[in-house]
């Protein structure tokens, strides 16, 4: 029984290793799929309109201060029971994580110069 379990793990390890080699070969820069992947990436990223690009820049720049509070309020008002729960969880998360991120940035800067 013990040897059978070891053979099972050995077989699973061989399959995982083979899958790793396959994925590594697919993302290798020497294969044709890299060219197709690069073309698809450029097609998707160059297909945006100017308004959409400006909207994404604005929402990134002012996201935490303006965009997310509006989204949370709209979700709370228009989202029904599930929207109210989701908005509450997002609001509590932001109230906890924003001060923690500022403290951690200051601590990392302090530890860097020490």
pLDDT by residue (tens digit) across 52-106?
A: 888 888 888 887 778 888 999 999 999 999 999 999 999 999 888 888 877 776 6
Q: What pTM did the predictor assign?
A: 0.47
- pLDDT reported for residue 81: 93
- pLDDT reported for residue 84: 94
Distance, CA of 20 to CA of 35 (rounded, Å) = 21
Q: Which DSSP letter does residue 28 get?
A: S
């Amino acid at each position: 029984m013990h040897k059978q379990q070891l053979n099972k793990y050995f077989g699973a390890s061989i399959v995982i290793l083979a899958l790793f080699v396959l994925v590594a070969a697919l993302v290798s820069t020497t294969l044709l799929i890299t060219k197709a992947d690069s073309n698809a990436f450029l097609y998707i990223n160059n297909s945006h309109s100017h308004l959409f690009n400006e909207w994404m820049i604005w929402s990134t720049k002012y996201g935490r201060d303006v965009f997310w509070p509006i989204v949370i309020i709209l979700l709370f008002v228009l989202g029904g029971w599930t929207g109210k729960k989701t908005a509450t969880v997002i609001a509590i998360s932001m109230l906890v994580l924003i001060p923690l991120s500022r403290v951690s940035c200051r601590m990392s800067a302090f530890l860097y110069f020490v």
